[in-house]
Structure 1
């Protein structure tokens, strides 16, 4: 989906693509992710957050908390910056949106690896809780 939006952005910037509403898979996924992240935050506020595994090292707890905050913040900011860049046509906002993915992708990978580490190495129920099975 990245290449499609890059092409559309280039056309918008050089005037070959009119600034009209157009359904783009990249924009649809971004908007959907924004809604899902906001809904998840509402649910976490209403229902609370499951505690981290007992006996986990404080450094791992801090890393987990920081990673979750960063993931949520980046997902929200990326969606908003993408919308703002498209609506305003300001290239600097679009560039910031593009650069943010360089932080988001490693955080997602870290999150996946941490869940697998907890499941296979530490033998905790973290992965099952993430999947709603614990």
Structure 2
């Protein structure tokens, strides 16, 4: 049977991951400077711990945990009567966000550990896909709440 709401852990994981992703998006200059220093030889080419890497590792663990909870518990269904195209877009966006978050962490770690610039470039390009997906996700939640008057946003806020 499909649940009618998200569990408390699912809600908390969603908002913690969202906070960490915003941290990564808005506070990435430090890692860019460190990366540039490694590439031009002004910083040693050795793995180091930094806030960007720690946040990335947390994102990976939390996204995987969230996917396990999703698999074990399930998630509420999409609103009844919603156009099939919107349902497909919602499903695709969620899958792309989860996949992209996992791949970004793995590519970022691989780039940092190996110093291979092409991997770092792929990681940076992925950010150009992630940001529009995050914006689409937010706009869709607001569209559901204010225009369609569904419970999509309320249930992720833990409100019936």
* Shorter-normalised TM range: over 0.9
Alpha-carbon RMSD across the aligned residues, in angstroms, is: 1.1
Bigger relative contact order (CA 8 A; separation at least 6): 2
State which of 140, 151, 154 in structure 2 corresponds to 1:125. 151
Gaps of 5+ in 2: 1-26
What CA distance in whole angstroms lies between the structure 2 residues aligned with 1:118 and 1:49?
17
Matching of residues 1-134 of structure 1 within 5 Å:
1-134=27-160
Gaps of 5+ in 1: none
* 1:129 CA drift (Å): 1.4
**Which segments of structure 1 move beyond 3 Å, counting only runs of 4 or more?**
none
Q: Please give the per-residue CA displacement for 1:83-112, whole angstroms capped at 9, x wherever unaligned.
A: 000011110000000000111000000000
Q: Please give the per-residue CA displacement for 1:40-96, whole angstroms capped at 9, x wherever unaligned.
A: 101101101210001100000000000000000100000000000001111000000
Aligned length: 134
* 1:20 CA drift (Å): 3.5
* 1:16 CA drift (Å): 2.0
Normalising by structure 2, we get a TM-score of: 0.80
* 1:12 CA drift (Å): 1.2
